[in-house]
């Protein structure tokens, strides 16, 4: 098989982070090359380099069909590299044909050649054994069908490389089967496919080769038939646990929060207890239903069935307002979208949630600033004063403002959804210490994390979720990267 | 260091006075404007002719002219801070004036009940719009546009497309509170009607509401980030609803004031009022995207836009030219903030360049 693409010695440095270090990668005609690794292993960065969105650091070389190229997004498409991202970038209210040909219309004498474009689309859809017709509206299609259209586009324009980034994350079982079938079909026409997925079973079913990344480095490369599942997991994890953050342990107290058969928002039949002085971590892959569960626990989305008990009493969980009154706090995953008031001052951000607990209607502006200044000192938020706008702070300081907002409510039960997402190493340690300080005050923490070292080092117990259900519960002694990963990708029988 | 951190540092270094005092930009433009007008007036007409722009009688005149749109602009400010907009205020004001005038001259309700009916109908209609806006995801722009057309229709139906005459039943609202006071220079009568005081009172109340209360803080929160506001325990839907209700109250009050001045309930009364009030609010630094703005900014915007018209009248500019000038000044006022904010950066770039050159030469 002829080689299409070769990357040698690719590194990519961001301020403070080495996202990729000396990674090599190659792709042949008509093969499916899987790219595996945990969150933050560098898969996305590698794809972005391939699609021309990022430039590799000095020394990295990209060879395409024997010629060295310096990729940019435009050139990548011209050469025939198509990236199909996890999130669909489509024109919802245009037809399939229009979606395929937008920007690359077939025009003769200034007129669109609609029938020709339709015919081409129809031909390719038929080749892919799809029942879709060119005039169907994109927005009416399911996630799987949209993916099929994007692949059809790649075929029509004779692309040579198709990159699929987590293609099946929102798929039903039958859609996965269809997609794998389509991939087998297009392989035959000589297209090289780079396939990225959390679902290792898919990699085993259609992959020809597999490259494993970890912490920005290439760990291994196998022909698929020579690889066992155990070996793959071992390659993906295998960090040295002694480099993880070491937290103090805190004596564990009474049960403060209890979920009984909680169902809703995609989470099914979840039961657990949370004790004072404890960090209970929910681990799992992206899309395992952890954040969805947290929204139910906090009352953002309705609880369909089951009960939530706080200090032994069943609580009515209608909305966040009630939850805050019941001394719950929710540090969301996306702090800019749902945690912060970016264009407001630190002070205004800090006082806002506790307004639920104040009876007073008149509040002096000086109260805001005093409260803001107090928490800036407690949490070591670096800014000129509490009248600084939050939008000008760094990620770590912004996260601390979110924490201050919740500390101000005197909450007892904290939900941390990805507490250190997008935060530099130094601030990470500070946030961890703040979490431990909370435990010392007898508070309890539920943490959702996809950062494996964080899961291992911070948790007292780990609940692993998949598909909205609890797979297993691991205690401190049985928590290991390998163990967590094995359960999150589906128990023993991957 | 992450990118965010670098951006953060740059921002703290940037200690421009234009950023420290939010209303600085527009205030300075306004002052510049006044200075230019006075100079122009001195050149064109000489100091001998009256009335001049800065004479007490003319300043009070301006207050009378802006009183009504000022009240409505206060409501618009609150709506825009909460992340909304209201295009229906002009036609709603017309509708209220017609209802009130009908109540007095046709239904014989008496002045006070008719005024109450007029104002309450504004509150009810705006609450209705607010209900739709807060319960659906449709843009407030579209909903209130629909409201504007509907109100116009109702107003025309009620008045049979005619004007509704009154015989001075609301004159108490435009009575002169300082009867007999004279301008020391020109000797003309000075006039302060009650509605000017009501405008100032409403401005102060709105300032207190936005700055000193739980409610005010929550309006800003909802306008800045509704998601985060909801998670912080704020009832976002009802907050939005209540802001429109307050806006209705203010439009109602404003419309009654307008009616007392003109003495005729007529559809043209509120025409273009939505454009004027939005312009005033935006000049005052309130952002269309929500969460940003304050009442003092709006007050400056109101006085600014009001005095432009007044000054151009005094300079005897034809009304066609006035439109062009007014539009230009609106654009100038809202873009100036952006230009000002970039001055320190441009200056430092120039400094850097000079520095780089001098080191090269060495």
Alpha-carbon separation of residue B321 from A394, A479, B306, B315, B326 (angstroms): 49, 77, 16, 11, 9
Lowest mean pLDDT among A241-250, A335-344, B67-76, B79-88: A241-250
- pLDDT surpassing 80 at residue B153: yes
Does residue A493 sit within a domain? no
Q: Mean of the per-residue pLDDT values for chain B?
A: 85
Last residue of a domain, one of A208, A236, A264: A236
Same domain, A207 and A258: no
State the pLDDT at residue A494.
37
Task: Give me the percent of chain B exceeding a pLDDT of 70.
Answer: 88
- pLDDT surpassing 70 at residue A444: yes
Q: Which residues contact B195 (CB under 8 A, 6 or more apart)?
A: B67, B68, B173, B174, B257, B260, B261
Give residue-wise pLDDT tens across range A41-94: 888 889 989 988 889 988 889 999 888 988 888 888 889 999 888 777 788 889
- Asked if A130 and A148 touch (Cβ cutoff 8 Å), the reply is yes
Tell which wins on pLDDT, A315 or B189: A315
Asked if the Cβ–Cβ distance from A388 to B225 is below 8 Å, we say no
State the pLDDT at residue A492.
41
- pLDDT surpassing 70 at residue B4: no
Give residue-wise pLDDT tens across range B94-143: 999 999 999 999 998 989 999 999 999 999 999 999 999 999 989 999 99
Same domain, A195 and A285: no
CATH number of B55-334: 1.10.3470
State the pLDDT at residue B3.
43
Residues 9-28 of B with CB under 8 A from A: 11-12
State the pLDDT at residue A32.
94
What the block records as the tokens of A156 is: 């029509």
- pLDDT surpassing 50 at residue A137: yes
Exposure string of A354-377, with b = 16+ CB inside 10 Å and e = fewer, is bbbeeeeeebeeeebbebbbbbbe
Alpha-carbon separation of residue B347 from A9, A120, B340, B354 (angstroms): 42, 57, 11, 11
Q: What is the DSSP letter of A254?
A: -
Domain residue spans in chain B?
Answer: 55-334
Task: Give the one of A14, A352, A362 whose C-beta lies nearest to B232's C-beta.
Answer: A352
Asked if the Cβ–Cβ distance from A363 to B212 is below 8 Å, we say yes
CB of A405 within 8 Å of a chain B CB? The answer is: yes
Give residue-wise pLDDT tens across range A120-129: 999 989 888 8
Asked if the Cβ–Cβ distance from B233 to A348 is below 8 Å, we say no
Alpha-carbon separation of residue A333 from A337, A339, A435 (angstroms): 9, 8, 16
**pLDDT, average across residues A428-448:** 93
Distance from the Cα of residue B75 to its chain's centroid: 8
- CA separation for the pair A472, A140 (Å, rounded): 37
State the pLDDT at residue B287.
86
- Residue whose entry in the numeric block shows the structure tokens 């005897």: B316
- pLDDT surpassing 80 at residue B22: no
Q: Which residues contact A312 (CB under 8 A, 6 or more apart)?
A: A255, A258
The answer to whether the bond into B51 is cis (omega within 30° of 0) is yes
Residues 280-299 of B with CB under 8 A from A: 291-292
Q: Which of A19, A299, A343, A403 should we substitute to test contact with B (largest number of B Cβ atoms within 10 Å)?
A: A343
Does residue A126 sit within a domain? yes
Which residues constitute the domain of residue A475?
A: 243-488
Q: Strand locations in B2-57, DSSP E? A: none
Asked if the Cβ–Cβ distance from B291 to A341 is below 8 Å, we say yes
State the pLDDT at residue B361.
61
A/B interface, count of CB pairs below 8 Å: 114
Task: Give the one of A319, A362, A405 whose C-beta lies nearest to B213's C-beta.
Answer: A362
State the pLDDT at residue B51.
54
Give residue-wise pLDDT tens across range A91-122: 888 999 999 988 888 888 888 888 999 999 99
* CA nearest to A271, candidates A260, A255, A284, A256: A260
| B233 min Cα distance to partner chain A (Å) | 4
Assign B2 to helix, strand or coil: coil
Q: Which residues of B touch A332 (CB under 8 A)?
A: 231
- CA separation for the pair A324, A328 (Å, rounded): 5
- pLDDT surpassing 60 at residue B246: yes
ipTM, two decimals: 0.80
| B321 min Cα distance to partner chain A (Å) | 38
- pLDDT surpassing 60 at residue A435: yes
Indicate the number of domains in chain A: 2
Same domain, A154 and A256: no
**pLDDT, average across residues B159-180:** 86
- Asked if A84 and A186 touch (Cβ cutoff 8 Å), the reply is no
Residues 339-368 of A with CB under 8 A from B: 339-344, 348, 351-353, 355-356, 358, 360-365, 368
CB of A425 within 8 Å of a chain B CB? The answer is: no
| B19 min Cα distance to partner chain A (Å) | 11
- Helices assigned H by DSSP within B160-233: 194-212, 214-224, 226-231
Residue A16: count of CB within 10 angstroms of its CB: 12
Q: Which of A352, A382, A388 should we substitute to test contact with B (largest number of B Cβ atoms within 10 Å)?
A: A352
Q: Which residues of A touch B290 (CB under 8 A)?
A: none
**φ and ψ of B266, to 5 deg:** -150, 150
State the pLDDT at residue B13.
38
- Asked if A50 and A77 touch (Cβ cutoff 8 Å), the reply is no
**pLDDT, average across residues A264-280:** 93
- CA separation for the pair B116, B113 (Å, rounded): 5
- CA separation for the pair A443, A416 (Å, rounded): 13
Asked if the Cβ–Cβ distance from B225 to A340 is below 8 Å, we say yes
Does residue A297 sit within a domain? yes
Q: Is A424 left (phi over 0), alpha (psi -120 to 50) or beta?
A: beta
Per-residue pLDDT band at B44 (split at 50, 70, 90): low
Q: Mean of the per-residue pLDDT values for chain A?
A: 88
Same domain, A447 and A322: yes
State the pLDDT at residue B357.
73
- pLDDT surpassing 50 at residue B87: yes
Top mean pLDDT of A112-121, A209-218, A241-250, A273-282 is at A273-282
Give residue-wise pLDDT tens across range B261-301: 889 999 999 998 999 999 999 888 888 888 888 899 899 88
Written as one string, the DSSP assignment of B286-330 is --TTSS---HHHHHHHHHHHHHHHHHHHHTT--HHHHHHHHHHHH
State the pLDDT at residue B45.
61
Give residue-wise pLDDT tens across range A176-229: 888 888 899 888 888 999 998 877 888 888 999 999 998 888 989 999 888 888
Tell which wins on pLDDT, B332 or A267: A267
Give residue-wise pLDDT tens across range B317-362: 888 888 888 888 888 877 876 777 677 778 888 888 887 777 666 5
State the pLDDT at residue B10.
40
Asked if the Cβ–Cβ distance from B233 to A351 is below 8 Å, we say no
Tell which wins on pLDDT, B85 or A37: B85
Same domain, A232 and A247: no
Lowest mean pLDDT among A225-234, B206-215, B280-289: A225-234
Task: Give the one of B225, B227, B233 whose C-beta lies nearest to A353's C-beta.
Answer: B233
Q: Which residues of A touch B11 (CB under 8 A)?
A: 392
State the pLDDT at residue B212.
93
Same domain, A280 and A209: no
| A306 min Cα distance to partner chain B (Å) | 22
State the pLDDT at residue B23.
65
Angle value at C-alpha A92, between A90 and A98, nearest 5 degrees: 70
Alpha-carbon separation of residue A207 from A152, A155, A225, B183 (angstroms): 20, 20, 9, 92
Assign B15 to helix, strand or coil: coil
- Asked if A308 and A288 touch (Cβ cutoff 8 Å), the reply is no
Give residue-wise pLDDT tens across range A149-165: 988 888 888 889 999 98
Q: What is the DSSP letter of A108?
A: E
State the pLDDT at residue A409.
93
A324: closest chain B residue by CA: B233
Q: Which element (helix H / strand E) includes A34? A: strand A32-36
State the pLDDT at residue B244.
97
Q: Which of B6, B8, B20, B80 should we substitute to test contact with A (largest number of A Cβ atoms within 10 Å)?
A: B8
Q: Which residues of B touch A341 (CB under 8 A)?
A: 220-221, 224-225, 228-229, 291
Same domain, A228 and A249: no
- CA separation for the pair A357, A150 (Å, rounded): 51
Question: Domain holding A107: CATH number?
Answer: 3.40.50.300
Does residue A480 sit within a domain? yes
State the pLDDT at residue B19.
46
Q: Which of A320, A347, A383 should we substitute to test contact with B (largest number of B Cβ atoms within 10 Å)?
A: A320
State the pLDDT at residue B337.
67
Pairing of strands A217-223, A469-475: unpaired
Task: Give the one of B3, B234, B291 whose C-beta lies nearest to A344's C-beta.
Answer: B291
Asked if the Cβ–Cβ distance from A16 to B227 is below 8 Å, we say no
State the pLDDT at residue A112.
86
Written as one string, the DSSP assignment of A391-422 is GGS-HHHHHHHHHHHHHTTT-SEEEEESTTTT
Q: Which element (helix H / strand E) includes A14? A: strand A3-14
- pLDDT surpassing 70 at residue B197: yes
**pLDDT, average across residues A292-310:** 92
Per-residue pLDDT band at A394 (split at 50, 70, 90): confident
- pLDDT surpassing 80 at residue A262: yes
- Asked if A423 and A397 touch (Cβ cutoff 8 Å), the reply is no
Q: Which residues of B touch A298 (CB under 8 A)?
A: 231
Rg (alpha carbons) of chain B, rounded to whole number: 23
Same domain, A169 and A61: yes
Per-residue pLDDT band at B14 (split at 50, 70, 90): very low
């Amino acid at each position: 098989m002829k080689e299409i693409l070769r990357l040698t010695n690719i590194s990519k440095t961001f301020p403070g982070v080495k996202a990729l270090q000396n990674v090599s990668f190659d792709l042949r005609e008509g093969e499916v090359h899987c790219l595996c690794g945990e969150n933050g292993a560098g898969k996305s960065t590698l794809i972005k380099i391939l699609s021309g969105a990022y430039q590799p650091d000095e020394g990295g070389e990209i060879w395409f069909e024997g010629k060295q190229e310096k990729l940019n997004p435009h050139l990548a498409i011209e050469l025939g590299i198509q990236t199909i991202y996890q999130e669909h970038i489509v024109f919802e209210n245009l037809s399939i044909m229009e979606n395929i040909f937008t920007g690359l219309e077939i025009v003769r004498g200034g007129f669109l050649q609609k029938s020709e474009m339709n015919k081409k689309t129809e031909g390719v859809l038929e080749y892919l054994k799809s029942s879709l017709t060119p005039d169907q509206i994109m927005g009416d299609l399911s996630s799987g069908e949209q993916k099929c259209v994007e692949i059809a586009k790649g075929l029509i324009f004779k692309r040579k490389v198709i990159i699929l980034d987590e293609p099946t994350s929102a798929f039903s079982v039958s859609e996965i089967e269809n997609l794998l079938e389509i991939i087998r079909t297009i392989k035959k026409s000589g297209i090289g496919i780079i396939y990225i997925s959390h679902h290792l079973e898919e990699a085993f079913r259609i992959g020809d080769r597999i490259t494993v990344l970890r912490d920005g480095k290439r760990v291994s490369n196998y022909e698929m038939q020579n690889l066992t599942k155990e070996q793959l997991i071992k390659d993906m994890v295998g960090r040295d646990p002694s480099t993880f953050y070491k937290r103090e342990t805190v004596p564990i107290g009474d049960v403060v929060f209890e979920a009984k058969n909680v169902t809703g928002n995609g989470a099914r039949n979840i039961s657990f207890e949370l004790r004072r002085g404890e960090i209970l971590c929910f681990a799992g892959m992206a899309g395992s239903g952890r954040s969805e569960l947290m929204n139910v626990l906090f009352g953002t989305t309705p609880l369909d069935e089951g009960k939530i008990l706080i200090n032994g009493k069943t609580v009515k969980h209608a909305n966040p307002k009630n939850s805050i009154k019941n001394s719950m706090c929710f540090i969301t995953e996306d702090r800019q979208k749902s945690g912060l008031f970016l264009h407001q001052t630190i002070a205004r951000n800090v006082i806002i949630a506790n307004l639920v607990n104040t009876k007073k209607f008149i509040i002096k502006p000086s109260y805001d600033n005093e409260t803001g200044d107090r928490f800036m000192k407690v949490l070591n938020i670096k800014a000129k004063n509490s009248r600084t706008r939050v939008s000008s702070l760094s990620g770590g300081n912004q996260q601390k403002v979110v924490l201050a907002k919740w500390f101000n409510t005197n909450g007892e039960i904290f939900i941390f959804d990805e507490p250190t997402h997008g935060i530099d190493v130094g601030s990470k340690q500070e946030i961890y210490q703040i979490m431990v300080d909370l435990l010392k005050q007898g508070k309890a923490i539920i943490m959702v994390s996809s950062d494996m070292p964080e899961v291992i080092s911070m948790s007292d117990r780990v609940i692993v979720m998949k598909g909205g259900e609890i797979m297993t519960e691991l205690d401190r002694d049985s928590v290991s990267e390998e163990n967590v990963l094995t359960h999150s990708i589906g128990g023993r029988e991957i | 260091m992450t990118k965010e951190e670098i951006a953060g540092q740059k921002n703290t270094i940037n200690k421009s006075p234009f950023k420290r005092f939010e209303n600085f930009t527009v205030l300075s433009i306004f002052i510049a404007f006044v200075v230019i007008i006075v100079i122009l007036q001195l050149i064109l007409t000489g100091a001998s002719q009256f009335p001049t722009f800065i004479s007490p009688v003319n300043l009070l005149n301006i207050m009378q002219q802006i009183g009504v749109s000022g009240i409505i602009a206060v409501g618009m400010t609150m709506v825009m801070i909460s992340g909304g907009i209201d295009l229906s205020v002009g036609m709603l004001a017309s509708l209220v004036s017609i209802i009130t005038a009908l109540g007095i001259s046709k239904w014989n309700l008496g002045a006070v009940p008719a005024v109450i009916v007029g104002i309450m109908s504004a509150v009810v209609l705006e609450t209705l719009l607010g209900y739709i806006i807060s319960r659906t995801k449709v843009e407030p722009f579209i909903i209130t546009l629909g409201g504007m057309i509907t109100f116009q229709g109702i107003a025309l139906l009620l008045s049979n497309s005619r004007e509704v005459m009154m015989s001075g039943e609301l004159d108490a609202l435009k009575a002169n509170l300082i009867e007999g006071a004279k301008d020391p220079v020109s000797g003309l009568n000075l006039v302060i009607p009650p509605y000017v005081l009501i405008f100032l009172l409403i401005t102060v109340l709105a300032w207190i509401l936005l700055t000193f209360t739980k409610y005010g803080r929550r309006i800003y929160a909802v306008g800045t980030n509704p998601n985060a506001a909801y998670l912080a325990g704020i009832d976002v839907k009802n907050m939005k609803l209540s802001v429109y209700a307050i806006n209705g109250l203010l439009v109602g009050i404003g419309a009654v004031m307008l009616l007392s001045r003109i003495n005729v309930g007529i559809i043209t009364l509120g025409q273009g009022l939505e454009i004027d009030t939005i312009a005033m609010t935006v000049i005052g630094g309130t952002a269309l995207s929500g969460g940003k703005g304050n009442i003092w900014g709006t007050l400056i915007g109101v006085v600014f836009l009001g005095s432009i018209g007044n000054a151009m009248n005094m300079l005897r500019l034809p009304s066609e030219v006035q439109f062009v000038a007014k539009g230009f000044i609106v654009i100038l006022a809202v873009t100036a903030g952006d230009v000002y904010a970039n001055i320190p950066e441009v200056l430092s770039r120039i400094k850097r360049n000079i520095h780089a050159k001098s080191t090269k030469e060495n």
